[in-house]
């Protein structure tokens, strides 16, 4: 599939750089992994559409040379569904933060999964609303602190992957911005999958999250990712106590026999179309 030598510059809109992300942020690592993955998949720049919502992660599309849509808060998947259904030949990728995808956009998340529409959602999961100053998000761990949980979080967080699988997504995986090589591999996998694929990427916001949770520096946070990540296979032999405070990584779920929405739709059209 790879036609040319990979070159970041080919995919970046260099006139829009520097990006807005803080030094030490994990989002840049995910961006680079995404570009490498797209290159490996051999997609042309014209056939890729990237939609995003609002938040730090959602600024990504502005920096990359594809058809890019920076939409409204939480609604990136709805735009993605619209363009995918109208032009199913396009490769549609949605970038969303944890608050964007699972709080304000939670409804669209579960329904995109239910439909099993052929798109990839990459959740930049840093447990916080970084852009608005570090409020708690629906993935923030119990007992951790934020600007709106000054006494510790008592709300149970969502597990992005469990939610995606339960709602009907047919490819579900998790990696971190620390595991950059694995991340790229999973992205290739997710993008190549036919159906709705969700990749949960644990990433670091030391400014808004780490600082308030004894992980002041990017290094602290990267260490956290390295130490808390448990490969799914290893997790099988671990007790619940051992898994407390940690997260599984790997391709956690894959299903290939569930009908995909856009192709089912056009198949249906063939049978009812006025000839």
18 prior amide bond cis, ω within 30: yes
Query: Which of residues 12, 41, 85, 180 is near other proteins by CB under 8 A?
Result: 85
Give the binding range for other proteins (CB under 8 A) out of 28-36, 58-66, 174-182, 211-219.
58-66
DSSP-based three-state secondary structure for 243: helix
45 is a site residue for other proteins (CB under 8 A): yes
What is the rounded distance in angstroms from the CA atom of residue 156 to the CA atom of residue 273? 48
**Among 89, 48, 51, 47, CA closest to 73:** 51
Q: Residue 185: which residues within 8 A CB-CB, separation 6 or more?
A: none
Residue 209 interacts with other proteins (CB under 8 A)?
A: no
Site string for other proteins, 99-128 (x = CB under 8 A): --------xx-xx-----------------
Q: How far apart are CA 97 and CA 160, in angstroms?
A: 11
Nearer to other proteins, 114 or 214 (CB): 114
Q: Quick one: 46 or 242, whose CB is closer to other proteins?
A: 46
Interatomic CA distance for residues 168 and 84, integer angstroms: 18
Contact between 62 and other proteins per CB under 8 A: yes
- Tokens standing for residue 18: 């520097």
71 binds other proteins (CB under 8 A): yes
Q: Rule CB under 8 A: which residues touch other proteins?
A: 13, 15-16, 45-47, 49, 51, 61-62, 65-72, 75, 77-87, 89-90, 107-108, 110-111, 265, 268-269, 272-274
């Amino acid at each position: 599939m790879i036609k040319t030598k990979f070159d970041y510059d080919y995919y970046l809109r260099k006139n829009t750089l520097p990006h807005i992300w803080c030094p030490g942020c994990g989002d840049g690592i995910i961006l680079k992994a995404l570009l490498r993955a797209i290159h490996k998949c051999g997609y042309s720049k014209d056939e890729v559409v990237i939609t995003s919502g609002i938040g730090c992660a959602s600024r990504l599309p502005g920096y990359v040379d594809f058809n890019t849509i920076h939409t409204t808060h939480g609604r990136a998947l709805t735009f993605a569904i619209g363009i995918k259904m109208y032009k199913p030949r396009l490769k549609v990728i949605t970038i969303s933060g944890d608050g964007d995808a699972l709080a304000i956009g939670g409804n669209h998340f579960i329904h995109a999964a239910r439909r099993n529409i052929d798109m990839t959602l990459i959740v930049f999961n840093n447990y916080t609303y970084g852009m608005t100053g570090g409020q708690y998000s629906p993935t923030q761990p119990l007992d951790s602190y934020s600007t709106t949980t000054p006494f510790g979080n008592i709300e149970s967080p969502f597990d992005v992957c469990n939610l995606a699988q339960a709602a009907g997504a047919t490819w579900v995986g998790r990696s971190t911005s620390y595991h950059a090589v694995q991340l790229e591999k999973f992205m290739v996998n997710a993008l190549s999958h036919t159906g709705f694929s969700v990749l949960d990427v644990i990433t670091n916001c030391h400014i808004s999250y780490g600082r308030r949770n004894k992980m002041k520096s990017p290094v602290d946070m990267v260490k956290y990712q390295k130490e808390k990540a448990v490969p799914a296979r290893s997790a099988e032999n671990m007790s619940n106590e051992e898994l407390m405070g940690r997260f599984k990584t790997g391709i956690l779920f894959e299903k290939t026999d569930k009908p995909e929405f856009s192709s089912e739709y056009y198949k249906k059209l063939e049978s009812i179309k006025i000839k």
